[in-house]
Amino acid sequence: MITGDSHQQIIPPTRTHVKAGFVVYSPVTHSRNIIILDEGELAAIERNNGIKSTVFKMHPGDLIGVASLLEHEDFRYAIEATQDSTITVVTEECMESELKTLPVWMLAVIKSLSSKTRKLKEALHHTRCQNTLKSLAEYCSHLQAKVEYPLEDFLREYQWITKISKATVLEDIKALARRKFLVLTEGGEATTLRIVNPLLLQIYVDYQNAVEKNVSWAPFTLSLNQKRLLVYLSSIDQNEKKDAPDWIATFMAQKFKADVSEWIHMLQLGWFKAINENAFAPNTDKIKYFLAALRYETNIRGVL
Amino acid sequence: MTTKLSSGEYLCLEGDKASTLYIVKSGMLVGTSKLAPDAPLQNFGPGSIIGEFGLLESAPRELTLRAAEETEVLEIDQNTLNATLEKRPSWLKSILTFLTARNRIAQENKRKNDLIQALPSLLYIFSVYLKETGSDTMPLPMLHGKILALNNTPAEETDLLLESLQKLGLLKVIGEHNADKAVRAESLQIIPLLYETLRYRALNQKVSPNILSMTEQMVLSTFVKIVRETKVPEQNGLCTITTEQLKAEAKRSMHGLTLTSRTIAPLVEKKLLEPSSAFDIHAPLESIDFFFADFEKILDLIELNRIFPLLDKQLV
């Protein structure tokens, strides 16, 4: 078995009898001890503007000060004996000497529990977002184009939703501005932010999702023939309805390479919507989406 | 006890009964969980310890662990733990119990905090969708995706939130299969109204004007009752009732309370009730012939005030 240094001398804890009313621990002293109640009763006391109130009572077997000793966390209550009691005090030195003789795995368990708890507590104050740029793009994609949003108001609302730090949000705003997705008009307290085109921000979020999942993103995988088909589709009447063979015939008449597999691919990309069982019409929104993605490819990829 | 694993070999499965601690001596273990299928893989290299709660509390495995390469793992079972603790002072066991309980509490607090923190994201995304499309129903996969992008809230947490909001009668999750499921708002206004109310409270550190006093709520409920019972017709979304009707109904339904200009004043100030002529708080209420109001807006406000005090409790 792996153990620590068993030759280390152990400093024993101190067992003490205290009278009712004795202050076992005061937050003013900042001493870091674990106090174990063996017999009697202790109470955690809080004083607010001179008014004394009992926060909780301790019964035999209870202990306090573990977080204070192991993690240097402040313990803000005073501990008083409410009746004659017997306590065991484990001092920092005593704990240290005991820990040094523990098997390494047990020491690791104590450290791991302690560190996991600390991380959980710290996480309460931090954002959960890992891709903060994507988060900002998602938020901005629902704002209106060409409206001047006061930056301070914008920051307050967005930070309330996401808990992302102000410095990070400002960096991300600049990153989106460099991509020409939004415009920041500097003016001190009157600085404003304007969305150029919400669709571009939505496209950017979708692109980021694909990058994170390490999958190819449809708009950037189109062949030259498919790109030309897309441009052609954007020029025809959105109310035009035809069945699949008629659409294929139309494309072939326009000298495009078009067959059943190409047609199925276009359906999968969402370029057409079914009007009824046999008729299809161009899906204008999807076509605009693909065209915008292709037109602003460098902005989206961030390779300006 | 030391266990040797070949690359790709499983050490344990998520949900398995557990009573041992693993310490990676060499190699690499990869952990996955069905609860977070989209989460990045967790890697455990030499020195990593896994399964403290299995050892201390016999808690089931939280992860499926698989060797990413030739891996050597040291296993510590509960017999070893007990034998070690027997040779130690009794307070050491108390400390271990305390640390475990404290971690459980921290986990629970984090879970509650995440849920509360995700609410504004959900309300924001749902509100803007309702406004942008004019539809009262949003596809659930789309909602999941957008909240994940905005706040990194996993779908399981979004579903828990939706369940809570459904219990409050704010929305309904419809459809049977995951891909076809959708979220339908009970009214187009109530979700944006709730978002705005929470936003106002968070950003201004004070109660939103949308949150009404008991008296204000009772007066508005009386207004609604009169409109419904007398079938007052709506004109451009506005309903009109006479001051006489309002006073009489208030006496019946508000436990004999006599309506005065002072009682009505806050509602006039908030433009929830519009008087037929200039309103003077010192003049008798009878000096106003009738009041009119946006009926749908009043219904939404009453609903908001019903659910608002229940929200925190319902969420956690």
Instruction: Tell me the pLDDT tens digit for each residue of A227-285.
Output: 999 999 999 888 889 999 999 999 999 888 888 999 999 999 999 998 888 899 999 99
Q: Where are the domains of chain A?
A: 14-122, 132-213, 218-301
Taking only the tens place, the pLDDT of each residue in A74-131 is 778 889 999 999 999 988 888 888 888 888 888 888 988 988 998 999 999 899 999 9
Tell whether A156 is within 8 A of chain B (Cβ): yes
Q: Which residue does chain B place closest to A69, by CA atoms? A: B95
Q: What pLDDT score was predicted for residue A189?
A: 77
Contact, B123 vs B161, CB < 8 A? Answer: no
Give the gap in angstroms from C-alpha A113 to the nearest C-alpha of chain B. 6
pLDDT of residue A9 exceeding 80, the answer is no
DSSP symbols for chain A: -----TTSPPPPPEEEEE-TT-EEE-TTT----EEEEEES-EEEEEEETTEEEEEEEE-TT-EE-HHHHHH-----SEEEESSSEEEEEE-HHHHHHHHHTS-HHHHHHHHHHHHHHHHHHHHTTS---S-HHHHHHHHHTTSPBT--EEHHHHHHHHHHHH---HHHHHHHHHHHHHTTSEEEE--GGG-EEEES-HHHHHHHHHHHHHHHHT---GGGG--HHHHHHHHHHHHS-TT--B-HHHHHHHHHHTT----HHHHHHHHHHT-EEESSSS-EEE-HHHHHHHHHHHHTHHHHHT--
Contact, B305 vs B197, CB < 8 A? Answer: no
Q: Which amino acid is at A41?
A: E
Q: What percent of chain B has pLDDT over 90?
A: 58
Which DSSP symbol is given to B9? Answer: -
Give the gap in angstroms from C-alpha B115 to the nearest C-alpha of chain A. 11
Across the interface, whether the CB atoms of A135 and B100 are under 8 A apart is answered no
- The mean pLDDT of chain B is 90
Q: What pLDDT score was predicted for residue A276?
A: 85
B315 is a domain residue: no
B313 is a domain residue: no
pLDDT of residue B152 exceeding 80, the answer is yes
Given B168, B189, B208, the domain boundary residue is B208
Q: Which of residues 160-219 of A touch B (CB under 8 A)?
A: 160-163, 205, 208-209
Looking up residue B266, the CATH number of its domain turns out to be 1.10.10
Q: What pLDDT score was predicted for residue A7?
A: 53
**Contacts of residue A162, Cβ cutoff 8 Å, sequence gap at least 6:** A127, A129, A132, A135, A139, B121, B150, B151
Question: Does B185 share its domain with B223?
Answer: no
Confidence of residue A4 (pLDDT cuts 50, 70, 90): very low
Contacts of residue B74 in chain A, CB cutoff 8 Å? Answer: 2, 105
Q: What pLDDT score was predicted for residue B313?
A: 83
Helix (H) or strand (E) holding B241: strand B238-242
B282 is a domain residue: yes
Contact, B295 vs B227, CB < 8 A? Answer: yes
Q: Which of residues 152-191 of B touch A (CB under 8 A)?
A: 152-153
Question: Does B132 share its domain with B222?
Answer: no
B278 is a domain residue: yes
Same topology between domain A14-122 and domain A218-301: no
Per-residue b or e along A174-201, where b marks 16 or more CB atoms closer than 10 Å to that residue's CB: ebbeebebbeeeeeeeebbbbbbbbbbb
User: Nearest by CB to A108, which of B23, B113, B117?
Assistant: B23
* Fold classified for A218-301: Arc Repressor Mutant, subunit A (1.10.10)
Across the interface, whether the CB atoms of B103 and A117 are under 8 A apart is answered yes
Contact, A209 vs A135, CB < 8 A? Answer: no
Confidence of residue A2 (pLDDT cuts 50, 70, 90): very low
Helix axis angle, A198-213 relative to A132-140, nearest 10°? 150
Q: What pLDDT score was predicted for residue A33?
A: 85
Distance between CA atoms of residues A80 and A54, nearest Å:
10
pLDDT of residue A29 exceeding 80, the answer is no
Contact, B291 vs B243, CB < 8 A? Answer: yes
Q: What pLDDT score was predicted for residue B147?
A: 96
Distance between CA atoms of residues B132 and A292, nearest Å:
20
Question: Does B218 share its domain with B176?
Answer: no
Is residue B93 packed enough to be buried (19+ CB in 10 Å), middle (13-18) or exposed (0-12)?
Answer: middle
Kindly report the CATH number that applies to the domain delimited by A14-122: 2.60.120.10
Distance between CA atoms of residues A121 and B108, nearest Å:
11
Query: Mean per-residue pLDDT for B49-63?
Result: 89
Confidence of residue A3 (pLDDT cuts 50, 70, 90): very low
Nearest to A208 by CA among A263, A295, A137, A142: A137
Residue labelled with tokens 């009763």: A41
Range of the domain at B222: 214-307
Kindly report the CATH number that applies to the domain delimited by A132-213: 1.10.10.10
Which DSSP symbol is given to B287? Answer: G
Nearest 5 degrees, angle CA A191-CA A131-CA B36? Answer: 145
Give the gap in angstroms from C-alpha A35 to the nearest C-alpha of chain B. 10
B95 is a domain residue: no
| Number of domains making up chain B | 3
Which tokens hold the place of A191?
């600085």
**What's the complex ipTM?**
0.84
Contact, B263 vs B219, CB < 8 A? Answer: yes
Contacts of residue A209 in chain B, CB cutoff 8 Å? Answer: 145, 149
B314 is a domain residue: no
Question: Does B36 share its domain with B16?
Answer: yes
Taking only the tens place, the pLDDT of each residue in B218-260 is 999 999 988 888 877 777 778 888 888 888 888 888 776 778 8
Q: What pLDDT score was predicted for residue B71?
A: 95
Distance between CA atoms of residues B212 and B266, nearest Å:
9
Q: What pLDDT score was predicted for residue A294?
A: 96
Q: What pLDDT score was predicted for residue B300?
A: 92
Phi/psi of residue A171, nearest 5 degrees: -60, -45
Taking only the tens place, the pLDDT of each residue in A136-186 is 999 999 999 989 999 999 999 999 999 999 999 999 999 999 999 999 998
Contact, B212 vs B219, CB < 8 A? Answer: no
Question: Does B128 share its domain with B77?
Answer: no
Tell whether B23 is within 8 A of chain A (Cβ): yes
